[in-house]
A and B are shown apart, each in its own frame.
Chain A
C-alpha cells in the first residue's frame, strides 16, 4: 500500500484543501469492505423474529382482548314490544355537546348543540337542561320537535328525578350479563350472552314501567319490554347506535320537586 489517503479520495477537494483533512465533512469515501447483501442471515433472522412477535401478539389480542357486544335485533315499530315514550340524552362529542332524542318509532334526531349543562328531565314543555350561568342557574326548555329553546331562571339548582333504575352484573358464568331491578334481584329484566368486558352505563324503567331503556358500553341505546311485574317480556332491542352518552332521561320524567 503506497498511498496513505483513504481509497476514493482524489487529491484536493473543490475548496482546495487536503482531502484527508476535510474527510470529516466530505461525503464518505468508498469503503473497501463490501456490505453484506440484503439476504444477510442476521437481517433475515431479525425480520422473522420481529414479524413473529407482532403476529403472535396481534393474534393474542384478537383472540382474547377484543370482545364484541351481543348482537341484537333492531326495534320493530310495528311490533307490540315498542316503547311508549321517548328518551333524551346529551352526546358529549369531541367538538360539541348536543341534545338528542329517540322516539318510540325508532327514529332519533339531534335537537340542538347549544347546551352547556346537564339533563334534568323531559316533561310536557320539552327536554329540560339545567345550565349554570353568570347569575346562577337557569332551566333550558328544548322543544323535542323543533329544537327551539327557551330559558327560565332557576332559584337554586334542580336535581334529576330519581327513576327506577336497573343494574347489571356478570354471573359466575362469565358469559352471562344479568340485568335486574336495582331494588330487588328477584326481578330479572334480561339475560344477555356477553363477555366480561360488556356492561351497562345506565338503565331505567319508563315512568309507566312498561319498558326499560339502557345504554351499554358499546354506545348503544337499547329497549327492553317488561311485564307489569317489571320482569322482562322479550329480548332487548337495539334502539339507537352511537349515542355517546353515559345516561339519559325518559319522556315524562320531571325534575325533583317539580
Chain B
C-alpha cells in the first residue's frame, strides 16, 4: 500500500518516529475495516430507500392526474423544500455517511426543483419544448451547482452536469429551424468536456469523478449523434477516448482509463466500418481492437508503475496539485464511493514533507 511506503520513507528521513509509524498504520487499518462495514450498511440503506422511493413513485404516478395543477405544484414544492432542507442539515452532519447522504438529498432537491420549474413552464406559462428545457435545466443547475461547491459528491455532480447539458440543449432548441441532431451532440460534448477539464483543475470535486463523468457524458453525447454525421462524430469520440486514456496515464486515474478505453472499443470498430464498409471486414476490425488491447495493456502497466511504485513521481502532469485541492486530507473525500477507489490507487496525499520536496 502506498501509505506504508510513505511511512517508511518518512521514518527513514527522520520525520516521524517508529511509534508514530505504528500508530498511524494501526489507525488506518482499523479505519479501513470500519469503513468497509459502514459502507455496506450505507449501501443497503440506499438500496432500501431506492425501493421505497420507487413504490412511492408508482403510487404517485397513478394518482397524479387526479391532482389539480395547484395541488401538483404544492406537492412538488413541498418535496423540494423538505428534501433540500434535510440535505442541508445532513451535509453538516457529524459522520461521513451522513454528509454523503446530505449530498444525495441535495441532488434530489435539484431534481425536484427542476420538476417544479417544468410544471410551471409547461402548464402555467405554456412554454414550448425549448422553454421547458431551459426552465428545468436552469433551475436544476441553480440548486445543484452551489451545493456541489459546498458539498462535493457524485450525485450532485451527476445532476449538476445533467442540468447544464439540459440548458445547452434547450438553448439550441430555440431557433425555428432546429439544427441537426449532430449539433446537439457536439454541444453536449463540449459541456461534458468542459466539466472534465474543470474537474482536472480541481474546480469541480471530486476531480476523479468529474473527469470520468464528464468523459463518459462526452462519449455518450457523441454516440447519440452518429446517425447524422457518423464519421465526424466517431472521430471526435475516438479523440475524446484517446484523450481520456492519455490523461489517465499521466495522472494515474483508473476511472478515466476505464471510460476512455470503453469509448475507444465502442467507437473504433464503428468508424472502421463507416470508412471501409465491407472492404476490409471483420478481420481488420479485430486487428484494430487487438492493437487497442495491446496499447491498453501498455498504458495500464505504466499507470500501475506510476501508482504503485515511486510515489514521488506520481503527480499530475500539469504541475498543479489537484490532490491538494482534492481535500485529500478530508475524510469526506476519502470516503466518497467512487473516489475512494481512485484514492486507493493514487499516492497518499502530500504531507508537509512532500511539499518541502517539491
Give residues in A with beta carbon < 8 Å to B: 1, 4, 20-21, 23-28, 31-36, 40-47, 49-51, 53-54, 56-58, 60-61, 65-69, 94-95, 197-198, 217-219
B35 with A32: CB separation less than 8 A: no
Q: Please report the C-alpha to C-alpha distance between residue A56 and residue B197 in the assembled complex, in whole angstroms.
A: 15
Chain B residues near A60 (CB-CB < 8 A):
186
Are A46 and B201 in contact, with the CB atoms below 8 A? yes
| A43 touching B203, Cβ below 8 Å | yes
Contact A61 B187 (CB under 8 A): yes
Judging by beta carbons under 8 Å apart, are A45 and B190 in contact? no
Chain A facing B: main interface SS: loop
**Contact mask B190-213 → A, CB, 8 Å, 1/0?**
110111011111110000000000
Chain B residues within 8 Å of A42, by CB: 200-202, 316, 318-322
| Closest residue on chain B to residue A42 by CB atoms | B320
Question: Nearest CB to that of B172 among chain A residues?
Answer: A61
Q: How far is the CB of A50 from chain B (nearest CB, A)?
A: 4
Question: B62 on the interface (CB 8 Å rule)?
Answer: no
Please name 23 pairs of A and B residues whose Cβ atoms are closer than 8 Å in the assembled complex, sorted by A. A4-B23, A24-B34, A24-B96, A26-B94, A28-B332, A33-B352, A36-B321, A36-B324, A36-B325, A41-B318, A42-B316, A43-B320, A46-B199, A46-B318, A50-B198, A53-B194, A57-B189, A65-B180, A65-B186, A66-B179, A67-B175, A69-B177, A217-B177
Known: A36-B324, A217-B177. 6 other contacts (CB 8 A): A20-B23, A25-B331, A43-B203, A43-B320, A44-B201, A46-B203
Contact B331 A33 (CB under 8 A): no
How distant is B176 from chain A, measured CB to nearest CB, in Å? 4
Interface residues contributed by chain B, number (CB under 8 Å):
61
For the complex, what is the distance from the CA of A61 to the CA of B225, rounded to whole Å?
A: 14
B3 to chain A, nearest CB (A): 14
B201 / chain A contacts, CB cutoff of 8 Å: 42-47, 49-50
Q: Is the CB of A1 within 8 A of B331?
A: no
Dominant secondary structure of chain B at its interface with chain A: helix
The reply to whether B194 and A54 form a contact with Cβ atoms under 8 Å apart is yes
Asked if B350 CB lies within 8 Å of chain A CBs, one says yes
State which residues 137-190 of B face A: CB under 8 Å. Answer: 172, 175-177, 179-180, 183, 186-187, 189-190
Asked if B60 is at the interface of the complex by the 8 Å CB criterion, the answer is: no
Distance A1 CA – B197 CA, assembled complex (angstroms) = 40
Stretch at the interface among B12-20, B78-86, B269-277: B12-20
* Chain A proximity of B355: nearest CB distance (Å): 6
- Within B51-94, which residues are at the interface with A (CB < 8 Å)? 94
CB-based contact B190/A57 at 8 Å: yes
What CA separation (Å) do A183 and B189 show in the bound complex? 45
Q: Which residues of A contact B175 (CB under 8 A)?
A: 66-68
B180 touches A197 (CB 8 A): yes
B interface residue numbers (CB < 8 A to A):
15-17, 19-20, 23-24, 27, 30-31, 34-35, 94-96, 122-123, 126, 129, 172, 175-177, 179-180, 183, 186-187, 189-191, 193-195, 197-203, 316, 318-322, 324-325, 327, 329-332, 335, 349-352, 354-355
Closest chain-A Cβ to B318's Cβ sits at a distance in Å of 5
Complex contact B187–A23 (CB within 8 A): no
Most A Cβ at <10 Å: residue of B16, B123, B331, B354: B331
What is the distance, in angstroms, from B64's C-beta to the closest C-beta of chain A? 15
Contact call B325/A50, Cβ cutoff below 8 A: no
